[in-house]
Amino acid sequence: MSGGPRTPGSSARSTRPVADLGEVVRHDVAVDAAAAYVVTDEAVHRLVVGGDGVPQPTWRSEYDGVSGSAPVLVDRGTVAVTDEVDDRLGVRFLARDDGRTVCRQSVFGKGEGATRSTLADLGAGVVVTNDGGYASSRHALLGFTAGAGVARVDLADDGCALTWSTDAVSPASGAVVSRPNGLLYAWTKRPSMTGVSAWYLTAIDADSGRRRWEVRTGTGLLAASDGSTLVLGRDGAAYLGTRTGLVRVSDRR
């Protein structure tokens, strides 16, 4: 910042080098030691810092359909994103060095899958949650649920493969992984014939997709997260923002 005087109503500004991609960006950026990876409504971009400090695109990889998630860096020098091809959600792995598609794996049924949530990074692959049919917590009133599905997709020697898929309903907040205990955590909702809109923190085995346990965290419209990110704290507890405030779930002592 400038150390000079400032007049009332003014603000200090500094010029930063900018690369204009000319496309709409709706997601967070992924960064490794060499570059930044950006998803737009049309393509995935890799940018590095040029000699003059200006970000320079090194490749641009178009995809079919619309990407619903931020880029996630995974093993084997790849970056993972989601897209929709022929009305079916899928996970696409791109090589970080040149942007070529390494493989793509469809998940969930045709016309039944969509996501806006960030993929959970498992190293060898990712977990994607289905947000299809869920625009707000009003779509989950009176025991109704949105599109079902949590799936794991892994890189394999001959491409990529669907490792497992479950019918858990986890709209809007994605999943987060704890590698030390091998569990995925998701904010889920059960369908209810009695009209109870109950929400849970659900632990899923990352290797098998089997539910290990779940804790009821609230009921009704205000217990929904509506897009808040589920995070794990250093204390081992899980935190999520709901329409009524922050919820913390921890192990019994």
In whole angstroms, how far apart are CA 87 and each of 84, 106, 111, 118?
6, 10, 5, 20
> Which residues of the chain, if any, have pLDDT below 50?
1-7, 10, 135-136, 143-144
Domain presence at residue 224? yes
Tell me, yes or no, whether 160 lies in a domain: yes
| pLDDT attached to residue 220 | 78
Print the domain residue range for 50: 30-249
In a domain, 117, yes or no: yes
The pLDDT value recorded for residue 177 is 94
Give the pLDDT confidence score for residue 143 in this predicted structure: 47
Ramachandran category for residue 108: left, alpha or beta (phi over 0 → left; psi -120 to 50 → alpha) = left
Lookup: tokens for 88: 């079916």
Q: What type of residue sits at position 144?
A: F
Residue 139 lies in a domain: yes
Amino acid, res. 47 = L
Q: Which residue matches tokens 């989950």? A: 140
Is the CB of residue 181 less than 8 Å from the CB of residue 206? no
Task: Indicate whether 40 belongs to any domain.
Answer: yes
CB under 8 Å to 10, separation ≥6 — which residues? none
Torsion sign, CA atoms 174, 179, 181, 182: positive
Residue 86 resides in a domain:
yes
Please check whether residue 24 lies inside any domain of the structure.
no
CB within 8 Å of 33: residues ≥ 6 apart:
none
Q: What CATH number did the domain enclosing 101 receive?
A: 2.130.10.10
Residue 182 CA, distance from chain mean position: 18
Number of domains observed in the structure of the chain: 1
Predicted confidence (pLDDT) per residue in 6-47, tens digit = 445 545 555 677 888 999 998 899 999 999 999 998 999 999
Long-range CB contacts (< 8 A, 24+ apart) of 196-199? Answer: 196/143, 197/140, 197/141, 197/142, 197/143, 197/144, 197/221, 197/223, 198/223, 199/223, 199/224, 199/225, 199/242
Specify the pLDDT at position 94: 96
pLDDT at residue 145, as a whole number: 56
- pTM of this structure: 0.84
Whether residue 92 lies inside any domain: the answer is: yes
pLDDT for res 4: 46
